[in-house]
Amino acid sequence: METTTAKYAHYLRVSTDKQGIDGYGIDAQRLAISKYVPGAEFIEVESGKRKDRPELLKALAYCKKNSAVLIVAKLDRLARNVAFVSMLMESKVEFICADMPAATPLTIHIMAAMAEHEASMISVRTKAGLAAAKVRGVKLGKSMDTTKATKGHDTQSDIANRNAVKVRATIDGLVAAGLSLRKIAAQLNTMGVTTPRKAQWTAQAVKNALARG
């Protein structure tokens, strides 16, 4: 946080420690708010669904003390929970979302409600898709790790082929749940499933897996 008093407080948030260390996402957020004058900077590293954000509380306190405006790059980085947005509004701190600076408090409240609804629907569809895959006998989760040996004398190729079938079935289940390629990749990474090359999933990697049939 800058030590000089400013009329703006910049609130930046990343969802993982790795993102915080590497700066992934931070530069994009800084660019989004670069149109505004420099301000004190507060960086949060945590989940968008959590409400206990110490850096945001510090930013709000700073704004109240210095009559400053809170600026965030995107609404979904501030909160995906409509109750949390309500709490922010009740703090009486003026805030601006850089991606929609002309938005009114009502607009922001509606956007937050839509984000919360989308997150809820994704969760429901994901569970339904995975449940359908499980009914088909697919074992989901970290057990797909191809580094783990199985009993007997299976070759690495046999193990890899079986795991590929399991991963594909899981992907098919997520596709059936209506998830986008990006969200499928995120779900696979959350489950601890890696690509055949032991890498994190991306939308392109999911697309390639589907193309292989």
Residue 15: active-site member: yes
Rg, the chain, Cα only: 21
End-to-end Cα distance, the chain: 50
Distances (CA, A) of 40 to 22, 67, 112, 114: 21, 12, 25, 30
C-alpha–C-alpha distance, residues 181 and 210, integer Å: 10
Q: Which of 70, 67, 110, 103 is nearest to 86 (CA)?
A: 110
Residue 12 burial by Cβ neighbours in a 10 Å radius (0-12, 13-18, 19+): buried
Write out the catalytic residue numbers: 15
